[in-house]
Chains A and B, each alone.
Chain A
Amino acid sequence: MTLSTMLSTMGAGMLRTCAIFFLTILFSLPLGMVVMFLRQSRFGIVRVITKIYIAIMRGTPLMLQLLMWYFGPYYLFGMNIRGYRLPAIIIGFSMNYAAYFAEIYRGGFETIPKGQYEAAEVLGYSGPQTFFKIILPQVIKAILPSVTNEVITLVKDTSLAFTLAYNEMFSIAKQIAASQTSFMPFVIAGVFYFIANYAVAFGMERIEKALDYYR
């Protein structure tokens, strides 16, 4: 196999890797917000359920969760799981990362002193106004470094999709390594992950700078 065939074969996998990455970001960031609110709900039962959810998502390996999401519907309900591979992967990743994001968000909101809410109320801000105009901008600034960490981890975690035989880049790297008895595909995979994460770190740094308007 020539280097260019290797690269183009792995390139097809890179697109799938990117699909997992972007879809997971798209769903898990907002879902994390929902989970955070449920975690602080007025109703005790909702709080407990959310806590159990977070404990399970953080306490079990993502690989195992992916297997559960994919094969679960068949083993529990006898459903036909044809064509369900990618959806299962996206659900698995999004549910898992939402749990982490929820805790990061919660940490961010807890840095805001109660006095700010009181001051906003005195100044006549409504609830949503206080949240979107005063609290949220500060929280986003505070949590960005932690979110960057998670996003970088996600880029590397996409390789776990091989568990469900979704042919993303790292699965293909392993297949080429087996068929060519060569170490080269792993090196290419490493370069790809590095470049992807460099881009993520670079982008997040830009956003951080843009939000740094009080300096």
Chain B
Amino acid sequence: MKKKLAILLAMVMIPASLAACGSSGSDAPAYRFLEEDLGTESYAIGFRLGDEELAETVSGAVQALVLDGTYASIGEKYPDIKDFLCLTAEGIDEASLPEKGSGDPEYVFKHGFDLDYPPYSYLQDDGSVGGFDVELAQAVCEYMGWGYEAVPFNWDAKDMELNAGSCDCIWSGFTKEGREDLYTWGITYSDNTQGILVAGDSDIKTLADLAGKVVGVQTATSAYDMLEGDRKDLADTFGELKVYETYTIAYNDLKAGAIDAIAIDLTAGSYLIAGDNQ
């Protein structure tokens, strides 16, 4: 019995000891992006093909939120995203927008997103669902007078969820490029740049330095699509392109020195390294 107790105790102590290590305090950032990037893309809201009416209404409501300042004030809460918000009041025709509270009050807008994708959609510190996209979607529902339902899904199954009707849209840092014909697209509300993340003391300075190195990427992301598509030439110079289920694991591998770099968009990457670069 004593032995069993000792094992249990050890299992409880491991997390406690792991929690202690982690932060490092030197002048140079622990992790940094290469100055060269892989390309820029736009984030938009994806609706079922043919769902033009909903796409138009939601896009109109987003524009209305730009005019009343809600869009910017939500952006203020997410410093990693702020610089990438591309909508401005300029060129928005107020007359064409849906009126406030003009939506069907019975309608519940089912917002489909990935809960593993900070800072767009993720678990907040208090355990609730949040993120820029979630807050913006909630603001849209509030504006229209709709109900809001969060539908977190598994990113690999997003198309099945959308087609089967368990959600009305994919809105979770969703890249439009390369998917133009697959969805009915709503408004582009943010852009983003794909970059390469390396350790602060790494000797990798340019994309050319990645030759022969091991680079990690998350499956089904636009960084991954880019390296398999337009930038295949670059990916071919890598020693290996390691595909992960989530960036969290890839980042742990980078910390541990098991891989040399991570291909990731700047907002998600900045969020990832924020804790270690303090």
State how many angstroms separate the Cβ of B197 from the closest Cβ of chain A: 12
Q: Are A181 and B154 in contact (CB under 8 A)?
A: no
* Chain B residues whose C-beta falls within 8 Å of the C-beta of A6 in the assembled complex: 127
Q: Are A81 and B15 in contact (CB under 8 A)?
A: no
Report, as a range, how many residues of chain A touch the other chain. Answer: 35 or more
Contacts A1-B125, A74-B163, A167-B152 known; A177 to B18 CB distance under 8 Å? no
Query: What 6 pairs between A and B have smallest CB-CB spacing?
Result: A9-B127, A179-B122, A74-B164, A165-B153, A187-B15, A1-B125
Contact residue among B8, B154, B271 (Cβ-Cβ distance under 8 Å from A165): B154
Does A60 belong to the interface (CB within 8 Å)?
A: no
Does A133 belong to the interface (CB within 8 Å)?
A: no
Tell me, in angstroms, the Cα distance from A163 to B160 when the chains sit together: 11
Tell me, in angstroms, the Cα distance from A174 to B154 when the chains sit together: 11
Besides the known contacts A74-B164, A164-B157, A175-B115, 8 further A-B residue pairs in the complex with CB atoms under 8 A apart: A1-B123, A3-B19, A163-B156, A172-B123, A174-B248, A178-B247, A179-B118, A184-B15
State how many angstroms separate the Cβ of B15 from the closest Cβ of chain A: 4
Residue pairs across A and B with Cβ atoms less than 8 A apart, 10 shown, are: A2-B125, A3-B19, A81-B166, A174-B116, A175-B115, A180-B275, A182-B275, A188-B15, A190-B11, A191-B14
Tell me, in angstroms, the Cα distance from A71 to B163 when the chains sit together: 10
State how many angstroms separate the Cβ of B29 from the closest Cβ of chain A: 15
Tell me, in angstroms, the Cα distance from A174 to B157 when the chains sit together: 16
* Chain B residues whose C-beta falls within 8 Å of the C-beta of A80 in the assembled complex: 165
Does A131 belong to the interface (CB within 8 Å)?
A: no
Q: Are A177 and B248 in contact (CB under 8 A)?
A: yes
Q: Are A181 and B248 in contact (CB under 8 A)?
A: yes
Contacts A174-B116, A179-B118 known; A71 to B160 CB distance under 8 Å? yes
Contact residue among B18, B116, B127 (Cβ-Cβ distance under 8 Å from A178): B116
- When C-beta atoms are compared, the residue in chain B nearest to A187 turns out to be B15
Interface string of B160-185 (1 = CB under 8 A from A): 11011110000000000000000000
Q: Are B127 and A8 in contact (CB under 8 A)?
A: yes
B interface, CB within 8 angstroms of A: 8, 11-12, 14-15, 18-19, 115-118, 122-127, 151-154, 156-157, 160-161, 163-166, 246-248, 251-252, 271-276
How many pairs of A and B residues are in contact by the CB < 8 Å rule? Answer: 95
Q: Of residues 143 to 173 in A, which have CB atoms within 8 Å of B's CB atoms?
A: 162-165, 167, 171-172
Does A194 belong to the interface (CB within 8 Å)?
A: yes
Q: Are B15 and A174 in contact (CB under 8 A)?
A: no
Does A82 belong to the interface (CB within 8 Å)?
A: yes
Q: Are B11 and A191 in contact (CB under 8 A)?
A: yes
* Chain B residues whose C-beta falls within 8 Å of the C-beta of A2 in the assembled complex: 125
State how many angstroms separate the Cβ of B130 from the closest Cβ of chain A: 9
Q: Are A184 and B160 in contact (CB under 8 A)?
A: no
Q: Are B18 and A181 in contact (CB under 8 A)?
A: no
State how many angstroms separate the Cβ of B266 from the closest Cβ of chain A: 16
Q: Are A71 and B164 in contact (CB under 8 A)?
A: yes
Does A135 belong to the interface (CB within 8 Å)?
A: no
Q: Are B251 and A181 in contact (CB under 8 A)?
A: yes
Q: Are A183 and B165 in contact (CB under 8 A)?
A: no
Q: Are A67 and B160 in contact (CB under 8 A)?
A: yes
Q: Are B152 and A165 in contact (CB under 8 A)?
A: yes
Tell me, in angstroms, the Cα distance from A126 to B180 when the chains sit together: 71
Tell me, in angstroms, the Cα distance from A171 to B155 when the chains sit together: 12
* Chain B residues whose C-beta falls within 8 Å of the C-beta of A171 in the assembled complex: 115
Q: Are B275 and A181 in contact (CB under 8 A)?
A: yes
Tell me, in angstroms, the Cα distance from A166 to B19 when the chains sit together: 28
* Chain A residues whose C-beta falls within 8 Å of the C-beta of B122 in the assembled complex: 175, 178-179
State how many angstroms separate the Cβ of A196 from the closest Cβ of chain B: 12
- When C-beta atoms are compared, the residue in chain A nearest to B165 turns out to be A80
Q: Are B15 and A179 in contact (CB under 8 A)?
A: no
Tell me, in angstroms, the Cα distance from A184 to B14 when the chains sit together: 10
For B18, B19, B164, the residue with the greatest tally of chain A CB atoms inside 10 Å of its CB is B164
* Chain A residues whose C-beta falls within 8 Å of the C-beta of B15 in the assembled complex: 184, 187-188, 191
Q: Are B272 and A175 in contact (CB under 8 A)?
A: no
Contacts A5-B125, A8-B127, A71-B164 known; A183 to B154 CB distance under 8 Å? no
Tell me, in angstroms, the Cα distance from A210 to B127 when the chains sit together: 44
Contacts A80-B165, A164-B154, A188-B15 known; A181 to B272 CB distance under 8 Å? yes
Q: Are A74 and B165 in contact (CB under 8 A)?
A: yes
Q: Are A184 and B18 in contact (CB under 8 A)?
A: yes
Does A99 belong to the interface (CB within 8 Å)?
A: no
* Chain A residues whose C-beta falls within 8 Å of the C-beta of B151 in the assembled complex: 165
Contact residue among A5, A74, A167, A190 (Cβ-Cβ distance under 8 Å from B126): A5
* Chain B residues whose C-beta falls within 8 Å of the C-beta of A172 in the assembled complex: 123
